[in-house]
Amino acid sequence: MWLAASVSGWAVVHPVLNAPNVLTVKLPPCGTAMRRAKEHFDRAILPYLEAGLIDALDEQPLPCRSLRHDTHGNFFVMKGGSSTDPTKAKSSDLAWISVDDLDTWRAFRDIFEQTGVAEAVARLVSPLHRQVQLYSSFYVVRSHCTDTNWHADWPVGTGTSAWTLLAPLEPYDTSDFQLLYKDCAGVVHQYRYEEGEAILFGSHFMHSTEPGAARRGAAAPHAFLCFTFGSDDLGFYEEHVAPTISGYQSRILVAADGSVRLTEIGEYLEKDSALARSCQVVNTPLLV
């Protein structure tokens, strides 16, 4: 990896992908982080997907609901369509399935710590006082995509101080329906997700889901473990991170100082308990 000066500070250029602010990290071998993430998914979430959850969300006043499991965590599903462009909402059945109480949040923080990525990015994160802070943990699932949606996950001022991680839960060997990205010259390439490898996005990294479809449709979507994390400086967080992740990707998240907060959709559902009930959303208290 090379470091290069950019208008907004330091940027990294990936030596193979030749693109800005993207890292690929080999994850610890099977039996550790990814196996635990897959176990939570298979036990607490997959049965709902097989029963048609993603399509059923369209029938609700808001396309979200809670999923509760006795032993493998509590989650909040939000169907997002295309994550950043409402006009492309129908081009994908993307959904975020986020941790939804503190116990589940802590279980996923353990998984995050096992991946070793906090250490991998620490020297790129500034300001950094104590440690790289985990903000949110979720799964991204999608079974089809008909149109590209080019975007960077973070605003330009974020640089390499906040990151999104994506790691596939299984090998997905479709020829398309992978990741498209633009290199430093603006040329489009395909990145193929690999089991055991995480890809990390900072600011400036332009990417899109590649159009395509999962072989077995919405009951067996491509599923990715996803973390957002970065600076533990509260001022940096409020300016650069909160505006990006405080909307509706999850109901709760954790700020740079470790405090648990409701997102905008979390506040909305808390204020309108009738709406929450009609969506099968449980407004779990933040502190338990």
Write out the residues near Fe ion by the rule CB under 5 A. Answer: 153
Distance in angstroms (rounded) separating the CA atoms of residues 62 and 70 = 25
In the three-class reduction of DSSP (H, G, I as helix; E, B as strand; rest coil), residue 102 is classed as helix
Nearer to Fe ion, 65 or 142 (CB): 142
- Name the minimum Å distance from CB 166 to Fe ion: 8
Nearer to Fe ion, 75 or 154 (CB): 154
Cis peptide before 47 (omega within 30 of 0): no
Distance in angstroms (rounded) separating the CA atoms of residues 206 and 281 = 34
- Name the minimum Å distance from CB 280 to Fe ion: 27
Distance in angstroms (rounded) separating the CA atoms of residues 10 and 7 = 8
Residue-wise over 94-113: b if at least 16 C-beta within 10 A, else e? bbbbbbbbbebbebbbebbe
With contact defined as beta carbons under 8 Å apart, do 231 and 237 qualify? yes
* Distance linking the first and last C-alpha atoms of the chain: 42
- Name the minimum Å distance from CB 179 to Fe ion: 9
Nearer to Fe ion, 80 or 266 (CB): 80
Nearer to Fe ion, 76 or 96 (CB): 96
- Name the minimum Å distance from CB 151 to Fe ion: 6
Nearer to Fe ion, 128 or 225 (CB): 225
Cis peptide before 127 (omega within 30 of 0): yes
Q: Which residue number has the CB closest to Fe ion?
A: 153
- Name the minimum Å distance from CB 235 to Fe ion: 25
